[in-house]
Amino acid sequence: MIVSRTTPVRSRRRSVRGLLSIAIGLWLAGPGYLLAAEVISSFDSDVRLAKDGELTVTETVRVQAEGRDIRHGIYRDFPLTFKDAGGAIREVDFSLVSVERDGKLEEYSTTRERGIIRIYAGSKNTSVPRGEHTYVFRYRTGRQVRWFDGKPELNWNVTSNFWRFPIMAASYRLQFVAGGEPPRWTAYTGRLGERGKDWRGSLGAGGGGGGGGGW
């Protein structure tokens, strides 16, 4: 299953909505000055769903850095908790596999606070040159498939919410490792809670409360 959005996401709260919220934001951003626009040129999410329900996710985030907010790198916020049908707080499984920048392994560090793991791509001692850069986050996560009325359902927030930078294009590809296709699926765009239809998608052999910024 392949879903894509090609028009710019201008609002801080525009996203493909779902239960998973992922974020890229400011990391120790200092005083800036007026430069060319820093944008997320594209956000591509490739999700492989195993038979046991584990997701293997590869996110490719292309950014335009101009030395204003994106100075040392970017970060990702991944929520580790959710409420089950009974209102109890549960925790998902999460394992970070790797972080890359421009095709090479990137130094990173993580912190955890209030049910969120933050992945810092980059180092305080390293400056990101101006221009286009491609970050790749790879991770595995479990307990994302939930059961509703006796049927399994996956809700996936592709780009998350509250971006500081406009997202010029986004795509999402879901693959079943064991083969097959989802019997029913849909997607939404717009502000949090909206059900916009500014997307296109297809089924085929080729084919799952944050923010955005830099530091």
**Three-class SS of the chain:** CEEEECCCECCCCECCCCCCCCEEECCCCCCCCCCCCCCEEEEEEEEEECCCCCEEEEEEEEEEECCCCCCCEEEEEEECEEECCCCCEEECEEEEEEEEECCEECCEEEEEECCEEEEEEECCCCCCCCEEEEEEEEEEEECCEEEECCEEEECCCCCCCCECCCECCEEEEEEECCCCCCCCCCCCECECCCCECCCEEECCCCCCCCCECCC
Determine the Cα–Cα distance for residues 55 and 160; give it in Å rounded to an integer.
Answer: 17
CATH of the structural domain 2-180, one choice from 3.30.1370, 2.60.40, 3.20.19, 2.70.98 = 2.60.40
Q: Which amino acid is at 161?
A: N
Q: Which amino acid is at 167?
A: I
Phi, psi dihedral angles at 138 (to 5 degrees)? -120, 130
pTM, rounded to two decimals: 0.77
Q: What is the pLDDT of residue 36?
A: 72
Q: What is the pLDDT of residue 121?
A: 93
Residues in the chain with pLDDT values less than 50: 9-35, 206-213
List pLDDT tens digits, range 23-45: 434 343 444 444 478 888 999 99
Q: What is the pLDDT of residue 141?
A: 94
Where are the chain's structural domains? 2-180
List pLDDT tens digits, range 71-86: 999 888 888 888 877 8
